[in-house]
Structure formats: structure tokens, C-alpha cells
């Protein structure tokens, strides 16, 4: 790699895509954002287009052509290193003027390196989905959950949002406890809390069920904030508590010894009943963990790009890139 060649780290997930343009020594030159980069939620074409848009934005912000980039480290949720999605992304990048190498990395590893440069440690990510990993020698050594909304992702935004919807439905159906979540969800969806009945059911329940079944399942994650907003409601509190316990269970499955624990995703990264339950379920094991919350995996993706050109990741590099990305967000 010539001295003037650059690297790009891409962090693509279910809510957005971020690209960091760096020099070989980890200095941030540009930053770009775009739409969802997860092919599961955005589709293969939509995810690939978002990655290219973010990459173009990053290079444009630095006034550099994409041809100056020798490697792109693509840390994309739900994107394997081979197959149709990978080929589509590479074709779009080639069309945009990129002639270098694309290395596919785990979005979980990007989150990890956004919080620490240590070769050993842990990460728990709980956004739309949820997963826990153990990292050794800078690589993922063990994984728990991350199995998708249908079979796993316990404690994730989807998991919480789905239970918000179920709680409201059971309330309206007379089969569950009354909860403030019901009014919040009906208001969110523009449904009047009418008491009139149709086909033996409250009309609001019929409308709610019809609207929910009309949504892509992953969109239920957008209801998770209602649980946090109604945290004093006993039903919402129970959902948040169980989410934290599930996340702790996933971490416990990969936990072997003390180390840094990087926490990413909106569910666990902020103080809340979820985090309280998470730490409470871990018990004494939490005392040996250095917990570090990060907003996303953008900085870590940048460090993975630096590593892809043969440079070691250092704490000094992490600190510098963190400050630079925070400045340009």
C-alpha cells in the first residue's frame, strides 16, 4: 500500500450505515452516513446501495477520489463474505470507481473495537437484534444468540417491541393486565381507543391486529421505546427486566474471565431498567468487567480497515479516531 493510499471502514446495520475514511496510521479524513446496510432488513440491493452511498459521502467529505482507497473493511450485519449480496456490493463499488480489496468483517467486532483496542474481551450488542461475543487475539472466539428475530435475539429491540405489541393486544382482548403500553401503541399507530365492538371484539383491537400484520415483522422493533417511556408501568417494567436478564444470559454463555465489555445498541448502552437487570443477573461476574458503552461500530470499523492494511490497532489510535469521529458526526 502506497503512502498516499487510504482505507475505509464501514459499519452497516439495521438502522443506518456509517463509513470512516482513514490514513494507514488511523487518522480520520472523512465520514459518511447512509441508510440501512443490513440486507435482512433493507434487502440485498438496498443494503449494497447504502454502503456505496456512505463510502462516497466519506470520500467526498475529504475531497479524495474513491480510487485512492486500497481497502474497504465492510462490517455489515447479516452479510456473509460470499454470495449474491457480496458480489452485488463489489460490483456497485467497482462501478463507483473502487479498484481495491473488500474485506468483510463482523459488525459485532466493529462494535467491540469501538470501545477497546484489547485483543481479549467481550461485546454485547442489543439494537434491533441482540448478540454477545468473546474476542481473543482480536478475533471472535465465541458467540451467543444473534439468531434473528424469529428464533432468537433475546432482549433486543425487536424482542421488546414484539412484547409491547403482545401486551397491548392481550389488554384489549381482556386476556392480560391493563397497561399504559396499550394507549401508547394505539396513539403511535393513529388508532382511536374506541369502545365500540365489531365481530365481538373491540374495534381498536381489530384495527391494531390488522396494522401489525401488515408490517414487516422487523418493524416491531420501533415499538421498543414505548416500554422505556412507560417504565413505571408494571407490564412495561417486567418486559424491560426480562430483556436485561436475557442479555445477561447471552453474555454468561461466553464469559470466561474478567476483561473489557463493550456495550452497543440503544437497548443496553444507556442507563435503564434493562441495564439494571443485566448487571443484577450477572451478579459478582460484573465486578470483573470494565463496561464501556459505544454509540455504534463506526470507530471500530475504521480500526478494522487500518488492521486490514497491516497496521496494529493501538489504544492511542482508538482514542484519536474516537475523538475525530465524534467531531464530524
Check whether residue 148 and residue 72 sit in a common domain.
no
Size (the chain), residues = 329
Q: In this structure, is residue 213 part of a structural domain?
A: yes
Q: How far is CA 215 from CA 47, 129, 193, 262, in A?
A: 19, 17, 20, 32
Check whether residue 309 and residue 172 sit in a common domain.
no
State how far the Cα of 269 lies from the Cα of 259, in Å rounded to an integer.
17
The grid coordinates of residue 13 equal 446495520
Q: In this structure, is residue 55 part of a structural domain?
A: yes
Q: In this structure, is residue 187 part of a structural domain?
A: yes
Q: In this structure, is residue 312 part of a structural domain?
A: yes
The grid coordinates of residue 203 equal 374495534
Check whether residue 55 and residue 109 sit in a common domain.
yes
Check whether residue 282 and residue 303 sit in a common domain.
no
Check whether residue 188 and residue 239 sit in a common domain.
yes
Check whether residue 136 and residue 195 sit in a common domain.
yes
Angle at which helices 203-213 and 180-188 cross, to 10°: 60
Tally of structural domains, the chain = 2
Check whether residue 55 and residue 181 sit in a common domain.
no
Check whether residue 167 and residue 263 sit in a common domain.
yes
Q: In this structure, is residue 320 part of a structural domain?
A: yes
Total-model pTM: 0.89
Check whether residue 131 and residue 269 sit in a common domain.
yes
Residue among 184, 175, 167 at smallest CA distance from 235: 167
Question: What is the span of the domain harbouring residue 46?
Answer: 6-115+296-328
pLDDT tier for residue 82 given thresholds of 50, 70 and 90: low
Q: How far is CA 13 from CA 33, 192, 205, 317, in A?
A: 12, 34, 33, 24
State how far the Cα of 171 lies from the Cα of 122, in Å rounded to an integer.
39
Check whether residue 164 and residue 179 sit in a common domain.
yes
pLDDT, tens only, 195-251? 667 667 888 999 999 999 999 898 999 999 999 999 999 999 999 999 999 999 999
pLDDT tier for residue 47 given thresholds of 50, 70 and 90: confident
Q: In this structure, is residue 1 part of a structural domain?
A: no
Higher pLDDT, 312 or 1: 312
Q: In this structure, is residue 219 part of a structural domain?
A: yes
State how far the Cα of 20 lies from the Cα of 17, in Å rounded to an integer.
10
State how far the Cα of 242 lies from the Cα of 238, in Å rounded to an integer.
6
Angle at which helices 157-172 and 234-252 cross, to 10°: 150
Read off the CATH number of the domain in which 20 is found. Answer: 3.30.420.40
pLDDT, tens only, 268-300? 988 899 999 999 999 988 888 999 999 989 999
Q: In this structure, is residue 229 part of a structural domain?
A: yes
The alpha carbon of residue 159 and the mean position of all alpha carbons in its chain are separated, in whole angstroms, by: 14
Check whether residue 60 and residue 85 sit in a common domain.
yes
Check whether residue 100 and residue 218 sit in a common domain.
no
Amino acid at each position: 500500500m502506497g503512502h498516499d493510499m487510504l482505507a475505509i471502514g464501514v459499519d452497516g446495520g439495521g438502522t443506518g450505515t456509517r463509513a470512516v475514511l482513514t490514513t494507514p496510521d488511523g487518522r480520520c479524513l472523512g465520514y459518511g452516513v447512509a441508510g440501512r446496510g443490513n440486507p435482512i432488513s433493507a434487502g440485498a440491493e438496498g443494503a449494497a446501495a447504502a454502503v456505496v452511498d456512505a463510502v462516497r459521502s466519506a470520500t467526498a467529505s475529504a475531497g479524495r477520489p474513491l480510487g485512492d482507497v486500497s481497502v474497504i473493511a465492510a462490517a455489515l450485519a447479516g452479510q456473509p463474505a460470499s454470495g449474491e449480496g457480496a458480489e452485488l456490493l463489489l460490483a456497485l463499488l467497482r462501478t463507483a470507481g473502487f479498484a481495491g480489496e473488500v474485506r468483510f468483517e463482523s459488525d459485532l467486532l466493529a462494535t467491540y473495537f469501538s470501545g477497546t483496542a484489547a485483543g481479549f474481551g467481550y461485546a454485547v450488542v442489543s439494537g434491533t437484534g441482540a448478540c454477545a461475543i468473546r474476542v481473543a487475539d482480536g478475533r471472535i472466539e465465541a458467540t451467543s444468540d444473534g439468531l434473528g428475530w424469529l428464533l432468537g435475539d433475546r432482549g433486543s429491540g425487536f424482542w421488546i417491541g414484539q412484547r409491547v405489541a403482545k401486551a397491548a393486544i392481550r389488554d384489549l382482548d381482556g386476556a392480560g393486565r391493563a397497561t399504559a403500553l396499550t394507549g401508547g401503541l394505539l396513539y403511535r399507530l393513529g388508532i382511536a381507543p374506541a369502545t365500540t365492538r365489531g365481530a365481538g371484539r373491540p374495534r381498536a383491537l381489530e384495527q391494531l391486529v390488522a396494522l401489525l400484520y401488515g408490517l414487516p415483522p422487523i418493524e416491531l422493533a420501533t415499538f421498543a421505546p414505548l416500554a422505556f417511556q412507560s417504565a413505571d408501568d408494571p407490564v412495561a417494567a417486567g418486559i424491560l427486566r426480562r430483556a436485561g436478564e436475557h442479555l445477561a444470559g447471552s453474555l454468561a454463555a461466553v464469559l470466561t474471565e474478567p476483561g473489557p465489555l463493550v456495550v452497543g445498541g440503544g437497548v443496553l448502552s444507556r442507563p435503564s431498567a434493562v441495564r439494571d437487570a443485566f448487571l443484577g443477573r450477572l451478579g459478582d461476574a460484573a465486578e470483573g468487567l470494565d463496561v464501556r458503552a459505544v454509540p455504534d461500530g463506526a470507530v471500530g470499523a475504521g480500526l478494522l480497515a487500518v488492521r486490514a492494511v497491516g497496521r496494529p490497532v493501538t489504544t492511542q489510535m482508538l482514542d484519536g479516531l474516537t475523538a475525530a469521529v465524534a467531531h464530524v458526526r
